[in-house]
Amino acid sequence: MNKKNKNPNKQENKEITPAAKKEKVKNKPEPVAPAGLTVPKDKLVFLPLGGIGEIGMNFYLYQYKGKWLIVDLGIGFAGDEMPGVEVLLPDPSFIEKHKKDIVGLIITHAHEDHIGGVSYLWRYLNCPIYLSPFAAAMLETKLDEMALTKRVDLHIIRKGDTLNLDPFTVEVIGMTHSIPEPAALAITTDKGTVLHTGDWKFEENALLDESYDIGSLKRIGKKGVLALICDSTNVFNEATNYTERDVRESLAEIVSHYNEHVLITCFSSNVARLESIAKAAEENHRKVCLLGRSLRRVDEAARSSGYLYNTPEFISEEEAQDLNPNEVLYVCTGSQGEQRSALYQLTGQGLHYPKIRKGDVVIFSSRVIPGNEYQISRLQNRILAMGAEVITEKDALVHVSGHPSKADMKRLYKIINPQIAVPMHGDLSHLLEHEKLAKDCRVPFTFVIKNGDLVQLDKDDPKVLGIAETGILVADGKRLLSIGEDIFKKRRKIMESGSAVVTVVIDKHFHVVGNPIVSSFDLFDKVNDADDIEQLSEAIKLAVEDIEKSRRNNDEAIKDTVKVALRRKLEFEYGKKPIVNVHLVRL
């Protein structure tokens, strides 16, 4: 096994510095631990802190003999209900208490929902990381942004490698997925072998020279598998009828029908799709331009890892502007309708290029991640309103999933023949359907669990032992906050009902000096609502002057009176009860 970025400065890898501890206390809330949870050291246990009952935030723990092995550390993405927030993270508080006993973190592949949390949360784990060359290239950029590159101990692993992380022995098994170098993990202790699939599918003749290691899977199955911890994302799809090669041919055909701008949005990390798009462009005498930071990052990581070697360098935005619309093909971020994405920006009123216009086509070469339906539909409607055509997987063969169909899953169960099945990576409906499939495959024990459930993996007595503390953190700028913080409740309130600021000046005789000033960025039109603002000001003035003499020295009482007066008036006039801040000045 090769090592990458072995830390030359040993003292940085020992304990978090006092300054870092202060930062942790300031930025990450401490949840209250459930009482009575005991983790038996003589039992092999599985504990998900993210990725069960949801799509994203994959974060899985295995414990045996007091040692902990972590598999994946990903992020999720916030929706419109979390204003000002994009990234969600699993709370690592439980395993942080055991960080001295962590033998390592293994990344199964480089998708954000499996690797994206490392740069945010590694300082709470302080453990070595094992990952593929492509995943390392993807991670290094993010670690550099967080000033962690020299501190984090990265170890390069490849399919076929075996890791000795006492008491765990982990075999890295090559799989097929929609990203380079995906792996399943055969995790073995003297209690038996657990196959943790990561994201996978069975695809013959896969692109990028990626293939699944059927020989190793059969060998492991013959030896006997205690438990299968398996991806559930595509459990409702009966079979996979098409491959990435089919998508490549279809995209080339679709592009040939257009003489104006062609824009394709896809998952940034799908390197095979980028190569397919490049081939489709080449066949139609177009050059490819990438729009979006994450696409350029993936392109750089892929080429540095030996991929896209037969694909011409993508042209810059400046070069694309000098070409006719039928000479360029744009690849954009934004397949899930993200408001900060390149594609979304192209539908705005700014100076973004290219301008989407009638006759253009936008191809969504991706699937809809559950929970993103509304924002994707909103973006597609914006594109349609500009006169362009939208093509999705419902209209043509523009995407194939990287996850196993029901037929793939049945095949894997037949090969592995596990004693225990634990569905992961899916919402509750996926997990329940996966459980039915496992029972149909005659698996003796199946468990549909939730994040925090501590599962004893024992061939004679498998069971849920208890519940560990879990939670969701929010990356709010440079801070990590609990999703339940009051600040997010206030933001949602402001979105629903608005906010206002009132300035009241009072002299020593308790007379209001001038008129109270009422201002708001989201409630008033300064021209059309000028009369209403004046009436609000007068209502506040009267309310203040009516305060009993016994309360006139109490600033908080005065502020409360102003808030009540303003909110009552606004509710009567506008039907709104905004958040109100009062600035009280005494002369």
Determine contact, residues 411/216, Cβ cutoff 8 Å. no
Amino acid at 111: H
Give pLDDT, residue 59: 98
What does the alpha-carbon distance between residue 218 and residue 182 come to, in Å, rounded to a whole number?
18
What pTM did the predictor assign? 0.81
Residue 449 pLDDT > 50: yes
Res 81 pLDDT > 80: no
Instruction: Collapse the DSSP code of 499 into the 3-class scheme (helix H, G, I; strand E, B; otherwise coil) and give the result.
Output: strand
Q: Specify the range with the lowest mean pLDDT, choosing from 247-256, 454-463, 497-506.
A: 497-506
pLDDT score, position 190: 97
pLDDT of 10 reads: 35
Confidence of residue 236 (pLDDT cuts 50, 70, 90): very high
Q: What are phi and psi of 334, to 5 degrees?
A: 125, 15
Q: What is the pLDDT of residues 359-368, one digit of tens each?
A: 999 999 999 8
What's the whole-number mean pLDDT along residues 7-35? 40
What is the number of H-type helices and E-type strands within the chain? 17, 28
Q: At what angle do helices 428-440 and 406-416 cross, to 10 degrees?
A: 50
Taking only the tens place, the pLDDT of each residue in 178-202 is 999 999 999 999 999 999 999 999 9
User: Distances from the Cα of 321 to the Cαs of 251, 260, 283, 327, in angstroms?
Assistant: 23, 13, 21, 10
Round to whole Å and give the CA distance between 262 and 287: 11
Q: Where are the beta strands (DSSP E) in 478-570?
A: 479-482, 499-506, 517-519
For 512-550, write each residue's pLDDT tens digit: 888 888 877 666 665 456 777 778 888 888 888 888 888
Mean per-residue pLDDT, 9-38: 44
pLDDT of residue 33: 42
* Closest residue by Cα to residue 423 from 234, 218, 240: 234
Q: Which of residues 20 and 34 earns the better pLDDT score?
A: 34
Query: pLDDT tens for residues 303-354?
Result: 999 999 999 999 999 999 999 999 999 999 999 998 889 999 999 876 678 8
- What crossing angle do the helices spanning 530-545 and 555-574 adopt, rounded to 10°? 140
pLDDT-derived band at 491 (thresholds 50, 70, 90) equals low
Q: What residues contact 25, with CB distance under 8 A and at least 6 apart?
A: none
| Confidence (pLDDT) at 498 | 75
- The domains found in the chain, sorted by start residue, are 41-238+401-482 (3.60.15.10), 244-391 (3.40.50.10710), 498-586 (3.10.20.580)
